[in-house]
Amino acid sequence: DRFHGEGYQEGYAEGSHTGVVEGRRYGSLHGAKIGSEVGCYLGFALTWQCLLQKCMDEKNSKKRRALDSLIGMIQKFPYQDPTYDKLQEDLEKIRGKFKQVCSMLNVQSDFRIGTERSSLTF
């Protein structure tokens, strides 16, 4: 009975330690993927914002407003708070706005994250 109790305690301690290590690795990997994705969206939006800066017609005005909205959403994204309860919801809103902007700009986009590389193609 004593060995059973000691074995349980040792196993529990080892499992807890392993869980923390695996959780940290998993969180770092997925946090990096989200950061890479959102960073690409921001770079894309800032580049198009500069390209459309001199175009003042109504058609381009709508595009600029959509880009400004995307940039604002990205700037408000809570990078430093992994416990933020609406993180996935806000990320989906950013993805949706990005797709809308691409459609308005008539740009085909494909964002992939793989083990080899991440890419944003046009």
The pLDDT, as a whole number, for residue 27 is 85
Is 13's pLDDT higher than 70?
A: yes
9, 38 Cβ separation under 8 angstroms = no
Q: CA distances (Å), 10 to each of 7, 14, 17, 18, 32, in order?
A: 5, 6, 11, 12, 33
The pLDDT, as a whole number, for residue 84 is 86
51-62 pLDDT, tens digit each? 998 887 887 889
Which residues, in sequence order, are CB contacts of 119 under 8 Å at separation 6+?
110, 111, 112
pTM of the model: 0.74
Angle at 33 between CA 15 and CA 69, to 5 degrees: 135
The one-letter amino acid at 68? D
Is 114's pLDDT higher than 90?
A: no
Is 79's pLDDT higher than 90?
A: no
CA neighbor of 37 nearest in space, from 86, 98, 122: 98
The pLDDT, as a whole number, for residue 115 is 47
